[in-house]
Amino acid sequence: MVGIERGGLRRSLRTSPHEEASSHDWIEPVLQTTRKKCWAIRNRVYPREVWPDVLHLKSLLSFASKDRVLLEIGCGRDARQLRKMAPSFGRAIGLDLEVGLQADPSSGCALLCADAHETPLRPNSVDVIACGDALEHFRDPETVFAECARVLAPGGRMVVTTVNKFFPPVLLGRLLPHRVRRFVNRIVSGTEGEDTYPTYYRANTPRELRRLAARAGFTTVSIRYVSHHPIYFLFSVTIYRIAVFFEQIVRRHDRLGCLRHLIHATFQLDLPGKHAAAHSRRPCSTARGVTRHREE
């Protein structure tokens, strides 16, 4: 993910991820079997069209065009989602602090090793911004929103999917030290310790998202809570079934929306007032470029 303090990203904890993993290898075969059973339940209960990553992808592709440039903030090491979207855009750029040797030049994506708080992109150089599962890791989301407004062309869209800070398992996780949370996350969801990054939750309510967007010059097009299968309970089939039962209740009642796992939002960068009509008719240019950056 992007926007993380270097010390946290470089895993300055005394126990390395490899040492941590090897010390718990005895339980992994049991957990893998349990997770497979839970995933099978997920596939039966949750239609693919309601999966959050599918909703996120669908929202972004609704703005796709061959004359538009896409930027994904927090694309990850392998830019998996970006690769899916790239063929629908004229150009696709991924930005993350952990891209590098893992990137495949044949993917058709330009991957930048950079911080979202200070991107190496020119003003007005992209038309659509994607930000999934990253906002909770930004130490200063106000600066990130301002950067997005700077690089986005007037009238451009920004699509965000992020964690709801008041989702009960997240509330509990926030009480744990980062080192403990890495271990717990590996057990309950199968996420490797090296992929559990420091979190700040400074942009993780609808109210805070609207405020940050407005300060940066965005209009909120839509914002809503989104349900997710109980990914934090993959360590027990019985507990997972119980969690699915309660999650389905929360899914059916909008009044319980604040207990859902995620927030999905779409923002539009405001047009300059006196030029709004002209900009709305002007096609997006693909000539906008990226400044050179130094690999670290």
pLDDT tens sequence across 120-134: 999 999 999 999 999
**Span 256-280, average pLDDT:** 78
Split at pLDDT 50, 70, 90, the class of 11 is very low
How do residues 29-79 score in pLDDT, each as one tens digit?
Answer: 888 899 999 999 999 999 999 999 999 999 999 999 999 999 999 998 888
Query: CB under 8 Å to 59, separation ≥6 — which residues?
Result: 159, 264, 266
Q: Domain residue spans in the chain?
A: 6-30+48-164+198-229+258-270
| Domain 6-30+48-164+198-229+258-270: which CATH number of 3.30.420.140, 1.10.390.10, 1.20.810.10, 3.40.50.150 | 3.40.50.150
How do residues 191-242 score in pLDDT, each as one tens digit?
Answer: 665 565 688 999 999 999 999 999 999 999 999 999 999 998 988 999 999 9
How do residues 133-146 score in pLDDT, each as one tens digit?
Answer: 999 999 999 999 99
How do residues 102-112 score in pLDDT, each as one tens digit?
Answer: 555 666 789 99
For strand 69-73 and strand 126-132, is the pairing parallel, antiparallel, or unpaired? parallel
pLDDT (0 to 100) of residue 21: 47
Percent of the chain at pLDDT exceeding 90: 62
